[in-house]
Amino acid sequence: MSVVNELIGRQKVAPRFTGKTKGSQGVTSTSSHLTGVLLAGGDDRRRQVSGIKEAAKGRTVVAVAGGEANSLALTDQGQILDAGRDNTGQVAGIRKDVDGKRVVALAASETVILALTDQGQIFGAGSDGVGQVSGLKKETKGKKVVAVAPGDYHSLAVTDQGELLAVGNDEYGRVSGIKKAAKGKRVVAIAATFGHSLAVTDQGELLAAGLDKDGQVSGIKEAAKGKKVVAVSAGGFHSLAVTDQGELLAAGGDGNGQVSGIKEAAKGKRVLAVAGGTAHSLAVTDRGELLAAGNDGFGQVSGINKEAAGKKVVAVAAGDLHSLAIAVVTVSHAAVHQLSSTVGDHFEADRNATFGQGLTVLARDVKGHPVPNALVRFAIHDPDRTGSTFTGGATTHDAVTNADGVAPASPLTVTAGAATGGFTVHVTAPGTEANPCDFHLSVK
């Protein structure tokens, strides 16, 4: 369903973890670092849970989004990770469209995936029968976009000027109604689902339009009256919002306790973020506690709660019958003494091809024992200007060692450039005096 929004400055983007916290929750030691770890629970019939967890192993995740039966994650290098159903080509399509570009935000619905680059450009893939992809691209041409939200048959976007754009099927007034509500106002947050649309202005006013059979529009507007809203999420037939005081607001269909249950769970707590699935709801408190309520037929509530137990959660997203979250863990630097290449050294590849063997390193302490949870940085040094990069076009890549001291958990893929020559991948453990290691690779 819709991806959760986090307020950064005065604008809304997809849930994003920066590796930094404020105040008493900040990291003051120079020997530690916060990294975002992906959590997932619920329906896994399309491997939308196990697949995304496998893809994110050893990666620092800064954003998550859930579609009907697929999952997306965004790494700190701007690369999209994906798993699950690709029924309308939305997964393969977005992967192809953003190849080589740095993605900063993403969102998914049942049939559409939208991504936003660091240049404010929209990319989209999936069902486009009513212009929910092509129409949005046309509407945003020449504009810098800061937020996106696809429904199943319509899509929303917000520009850096606060202009709300809406395209696609207008049944229930989910397009025309939200545009009318936002006219003349500066919008900072949006959410969309099958039948309705939500938005928030820079004054904290909640806007809503579309299907209101269960009070998902009128009810949330009533709940937000006189309050300053900072975040919204649209579930299947319910709506969630967060005020500047951390109060969770919820309205709409409550057949599985997705409204009453999440309100009860959040009572007396300061909420920072929310996410609505088809019939379940998620929230995150200022203490990093994950709250979940509603339909638990596939473990989308109990499963994500189990994954998050004892962890500090900073972002959430909900699919149809599954849940995603990002937790932060403290990565130790001081213990690493030696890095050594284990797989991938002295390999060569044809121009513009992928190296057949990925790269992995082993981190050891002074006694030669493997070091888990250590930050390792891979950096390409390319004096021959071969143009070689890591997947997604990046020239640096951060990873965290697993329980065996190996990073990444899945071998790091390198794509050869267009020119022949040699290059090295220099590997360090930032914040330590560990002996580095190098991979020597060549393009033929």
Q: What is the pLDDT of residues 420-438, one digit of tens each?
A: 999 999 999 887 888 899 9
CB under 8 Å to 22, separation ≥6 — which residues?
none
As a whole-number percent, the residues of the chain with pLDDT over 70 amount to 90
d(CA 380, CA 388): 8
Question: Looking at residue 422, which CATH number applies to its domain?
Answer: 2.60.40.10
Which residue has tokens 């969770």? 248
Mean pLDDT for 345-367 is: 88
Asked if residue 352 and residue 308 are part of one domain, the reply reads: no
* pLDDT at residue 1 is higher than 80: no
Cis bond before residue 408 (omega within 30° of 0)? yes
Separation in Å, CA 171 to CA 10, 153, 174, 348: 31, 9, 6, 55
Q: What is the pLDDT of residues 264-274, one digit of tens each?
A: 999 999 999 99
Q: How confident is the model at residue 443 (pLDDT cuts 50, 70, 90)?
A: very high
The residue with greater pLDDT, 150 or 352, is 150
Quick one: average pLDDT of 272-294?
96
pLDDT at 23 over 70: no
pLDDT of 72 reads 97
Residues 317 and 438 reside in one and the same domain:
no
With pLDDT > 90 as the criterion, what percentage of the chain qualifies?
Answer: 69
Closest of 172, 217, 177 to residue 195, by C-alpha: 172
Does a structural domain hold residue 102? yes
The residue out of 280, 314, 331 marking a domain boundary is: 331
Band of pLDDT at residue 69, cut at 50, 70 and 90: very high
Rounded CA separation 320/23 (Å) = 35
Query: What pLDDT score does 390 carry?
Result: 82
What CATH number does residue 45 fall under?
2.130.10.30
Mind listing the pLDDT tens digit for each residue in 93-107? 999 999 889 898 999
> For the purposes of burial, counting CB atoms within 10 Å of the CB of 184, is it exposed (0-12), middle (13-18) or buried (19 or more)?
exposed
Least confident of 26-30, 169-173, 263-267, 302-306: 26-30
Taking 80 as the threshold, does the pLDDT of residue 311 lie above it? yes
C-alpha separations of 249 from 98, 225, 227, 246, 374 in Å: 35, 11, 10, 9, 39
291 and 359, same domain (yes or no) = no
Judged against a pLDDT cut of 60, whether residue 199 lies above it is answered with yes
Whether residues 125 and 268 fall in one domain: yes
- DSSP secondary structure of 296-328: -TTSTTHHHHHHHTTSEEEEEEE-SSEEEEEEE
What's the mean pLDDT in 63-89? Answer: 94
Looking at the structure, tell me whether residues 210 and 65 fall in a common domain: yes
Higher per-residue pLDDT: 332 or 45: 45
pLDDT at 29: 26
Among 331, 362, 388, identify where a domain stops: 331
* Other beta carbons less than 10 A from residue 23's beta carbon: 5
- Domain match, 265 and 391 both: no
Mean pLDDT rounded to a whole number for the chain: 88
For residue 410, the model assigns a pLDDT of 60
Average pLDDT over residues 166-178: 98
Q: Where are the beta strands (DSSP E) in 91-131?
A: 103-108, 112-117, 122-126
Distance (Å, whole) CA 256 – CA 258: 5
Same domain, 52 and 152: yes
Looking at the predicted structure, is the pLDDT value of residue 7 above 50? no
Domain endpoint, select from 331, 366, 394: 331
pLDDT at 11: 26
Closest CA to 132 of 187, 72, 193, 78: 193
The least confident of 6-15, 43-52, 257-266 is 6-15
Residues 324 and 340 in one domain: no
Q: Contact, 191 vs 229, CB < 8 A?
A: no
Q: Residue 71 domain-assigned?
A: yes
Q: Is the pLDDT of residue 298 over 80?
A: yes
Q: In whole angstroms, what is the distance from residue 331 CA to residue 249 CA?
A: 35
Domain count, the chain: 2
What torsion do the CA atoms of 82, 100, 149, 85 make, to the nearest 10 degrees? -20
Name the band, by pLDDT with cuts 50, 70 and 90, for residue 409. Answer: low
In a domain, 371, yes or no: yes
Q: Which residue has the higher pLDDT, 434 or 278?
A: 278
**Ramachandran angles phi, psi of 35, nearest 5°:** -130, 145
Per-residue pLDDT averaged across 139-158, rounded? 96
Tell whether 138 and 206 lie within a shared domain: yes
Whether 270 and 211 map to the same domain: the answer is yes
pLDDT surpasses 50 at 175: yes
Neighbour order of strands in the sheet with 338-343 = 338-343, 359-364, 406-412
b/e sequence 98-128, b meaning 16+ C-beta within 10 Å: beebebbbbbbbbbbbbbbbeeebbbbbbbb
Which pLDDT score, from 0 to 100, does residue 358 have?
82
Q: Which of 272-276, 311-315, 405-409 reaches the highest mean pLDDT? A: 272-276
Q: Can you tell me the mean pLDDT for 193-199?
A: 97
Whether 255 and 395 share a structural domain: no
Range(s) of the domain holding residue 244: 6-331
Distance CA 241, CA 315 (A): 15
DSSP per residue, 329-391: EEEE-TT--EEEEEE-TT-EE-TTPBPSS-EEEEEE-TTS-B-SS-EEEEEEE-TT----EET
Residue 187 sits in the same domain as residue 290: yes
The predicted pLDDT at position 425 comes to 94
Please check whether residue 301 lies inside any domain of the structure. Answer: yes
Asked whether the predicted pLDDT for residue 243 surpasses 80, the reply is yes
Q: What is the pLDDT of residue 28?
A: 21
pLDDT of residue 27: 22
Residue 189, in any domain of the structure: yes
Q: Is the pLDDT of residue 276 over 50?
A: yes
Residue 1 lies in a domain: no
